[in-house]
Amino acid sequence: SEDIPQPLTAPKDKLLGGLLPSGFDETSCLSRYESPLYSKGLQHKPSSYLISGLRRYEALHKQCGPYTELYNRTVDLIKSGEYSSDSSVCNYVVWISYSGLGNRILTLTSAFLYALLTNRILLVDPRVNLSDLFCEPFPEVSWLLPPDFSIIDQFNSFNKKSPHSYGYMVRSNVTQNSRKPSFLYLHLSHDFDVQDKLFFCDTDQTFLHKVPWLLVKSNNYYVPALFLIPSFEQELNNLFPEKETVFHFLGRYLFHPTNSVWGLITRYYQAYLAQADEKIGIQIRLFNFGAGDFKYVLNQILACTTKENLLPQVNLNEPIVNSSGKTKTVSVLMTSLSPRYFEEIRNMYWENPTVTGEIVSVFQPSNEERQQTEKLMHDRKAWAEMYLLSLTDKLVTTAWSTFGYVAHSLGGLKPWILYKFKNGTVHDPPCFRAVSLEPCYHSPPYYDCKKKTESFNSVNIVSHVRHCEDNSLGLKLF
Ligand code: GDP
């Protein structure tokens, strides 16, 4: 009633509209419930079907997770190598750690969606800093594969030629035997063979359905190809009525920075971003970079930010002294392995006034010079920077970069994407606006399951999958 004093600000939606489960200990993972204080919240509303699907998954995870009785029983099947009854209650997808952090976040999300669709439990490879970067996403029972898992030492050697790989089994007709393997390896990386691609066919899914342990290695966001499997179509439509929200929702559900990473994020945010009227993120990622390209890359960044009205131009001719009291402030958060672009842009806005009178400050948290995946502080900073970029109002990212995909999709932002940098030229136009929130799947299978041939027409099958703007062979949901 009117007598009850109202809080000045409405309490923030801690559980993200029901996406997150309640009941976690808050202090052990501060980011889980504090993130709405920093981010804009979800850009769309999750479907009630997704929410109940997640709660159902959590219940199953609790029943089948590490060291539960059912887990112990299913683990025993690996020893025998084969398995003949259909009575296994718990089936698993094991995500194998592989590639850079952006790639890992995208493949983990893909594996989780596959687990949701097939009633499997997702267990994650605990190596490579995983538990130092991400909190446990599921209540009560861990998602970390126990380090005593009997074949964990073989993970690094799994490749498309391994006898345990599905492709190999198809080639050698093992899949026709009456005795079924208790585990198999799915090679879903960019270099997969045609037999590995059969994973994306319904009949092969029927076979895989009975295998208790599926171990997956990938360096790609293969979610769009799951939408091309007819038997998953209805379920995916129910889970995601808005197709472009898949990573936005699942990423916010799964990836909560640990307290050490959250410290990096919140300290940086409060020191450099919180006070600004507007926050702009710029992510620069150079693949195969030639030393002479510096000025072209710099010019492409500036051409994009001015052409798209993301940042004001500077007045090179006359110094304008801004006399009025309050001026608009813009904070630019840059990320790159190199410090050169950030230094140049920061100096430009110091040495010259802007034509609008706005005050532009430019920051970059780190410049690590090269990728050093597996070094803990390096990985922490990479994760903190992806997350910080996701907290900006407008975002410029680099074509092809999964680091950039994670940042924009997590934040629910449609970024301006810089065209792939080319030797000795500035791409014209310098950048384009993304059509959807979704990451791009760089190397889709392109296999026609009905005709049993490789084919480049699979995009026409469904209306919400298209080629990526930054990679014409890639596929993305929109
Ligand atoms: P992608 O190669 O751009 O698709 O992204 P990945 O994240 O998979 O791999 C690149 C890796 O290089 C990151 O995970 C980081 O380890 C490092 N890296 C690249 N760009 C940056 C950056 O701007 N900041 C930091 N801290 N690390 C970066």
The domain limits of the chain are: 16-254, 260-477
Alpha carbon of 108 to those of 105, 365, 414: distances in Å?
5, 26, 22
- ipTM value > 0.85: yes
Distance 372 CA to ligand 1 centre (A): 9
pLDDT greater than 90 at residue 91: yes
Q: Can you read off the two tokens belonging to residue 271?
A: 């020191």
Who contacts 45 (Cβ-Cβ below 8 Å, separation ≥6)? 17
What angle (nearest 5°) sits at the alpha carbon of residue 35, between those of residues 32 and 220?
A: 75
pLDDT greater than 50 at residue 438: yes
CATH 3.40.50.720 for the 260-477 domain, yes or no: no
- Average pLDDT on 281-309 reads 90
pTM for the structure as a whole: 0.95
Instruction: Return the amino acid letter for 208.
Output: L
**Given this model, what pLDDT does residue 440 score?**
98
Question: 150-174 pLDDT, tens per residue?
Answer: 999 999 999 999 999 999 999 998 8
- Ligand 1 atom, smallest distance to 99 CA: 8
Distance 381 CA to ligand 1 centre (A): 10
Q: Can you read off the two tokens belonging to residue 237?
A: 């439509």
Question: 28-72 pLDDT, tens per residue?
Answer: 999 999 999 998 889 899 999 999 999 999 999 999 999 999 999
- Ligand 1 atom, smallest distance to 366 CA: 26
pLDDT greater than 80 at residue 429: yes
- Average pLDDT on 110-116 reads 98
Question: 376-418 pLDDT, tens per residue?
Answer: 999 999 999 999 999 999 999 999 999 999 999 999 999 999 9
**Given this model, what pLDDT does residue 86 score?**
59
C-beta 100 within 6 A of ligand 1: yes
Half-sphere exposure of 314 (CA within 13 A, CB side): 16
Question: 330-353 pLDDT, tens per residue?
Answer: 999 999 999 999 999 999 999 999
pLDDT greater than 80 at residue 322: no
pLDDT band at 445 (very low <50, low <70, confident <90, very high): very high
Question: 171-215 pLDDT, tens per residue?
Answer: 998 888 878 899 999 999 999 999 999 999 999 999 999 899 999
Residue pair 283/401 in contact (Cβ under 8 Å)? The answer is yes
C-beta 471 within 6 A of ligand 1: no
pLDDT band at 6 (very low <50, low <70, confident <90, very high): very low
Residue pair 284/334 in contact (Cβ under 8 Å)? The answer is yes
Question: 236-260 pLDDT, tens per residue?
Answer: 999 999 999 999 999 999 999 999 9
Q: H helices then E strands: how many in the chain? A: 16, 16
pLDDT band at 462 (very low <50, low <70, confident <90, very high): confident
Give me the chain's average pLDDT, please. Answer: 92
Distance 213 CA to ligand 1 centre (A): 31
C-beta 373 within 6 A of ligand 1: yes
Q: Return the percentage of the chain with pLDDT > 90, whole number.
A: 79
Could you give phi then psi for residue 66, rounded to 5 degrees?
A: -50, 135
